[in-house]
Structure formats: C-alpha cells, structure tokens
Amino acid sequence: MLVIDALGRKCPIPIIMLAERIREVPVGQIVAVLADDPAAHTDVPAWCRMKSQEFVWEETLARGGWGFHIRRMY
C-alpha cells in the first residue's frame, strides 16, 4: 500500500499529491493519504467521485489528522 504523507499541508496539496502518485500502485490496490486539513474530509471523497476512484474508508490517526484510503480503479 502506498502511503502519501500530506500532514501539515493545506488543501488542495493532499489532492495534488494523490493525483500525482496514484498510478504508482496497481489497479485494485489501496492508496492512503494522511492529512490534517479539515477540508480533506470533503475534498478527498469529491476527487474520488470526479476521477472514478473508490473512496474506501477514513480513519482517525492517533497523532492527529486522518487517513483516507482510496482504491485505484483504473
């Protein structure tokens, strides 16, 4: 699983990082984006819908922020 650490970065940087790197994993695999900007709660799922990628789940990180898990669909 690819983990993109965008902690401390404001949106849209986490989305830009995801868009640049999602092709590093095979189709069907998961990418995790770590972010602590509250805008990521809406931006990451919206990007997934726009790009036909699957938003799988969100987790709260113990150190603060969230992990957004996205399955590469194509």
Catalytic positions, written as ranges = 11
What is the C-alpha to C-alpha distance for residues 66 and 52, in angstroms, rounded to an integer? 22
Residues with Cβ within 8 Å of residue 67, at least 6 apart in sequence = 32, 33, 34, 58, 59, 61
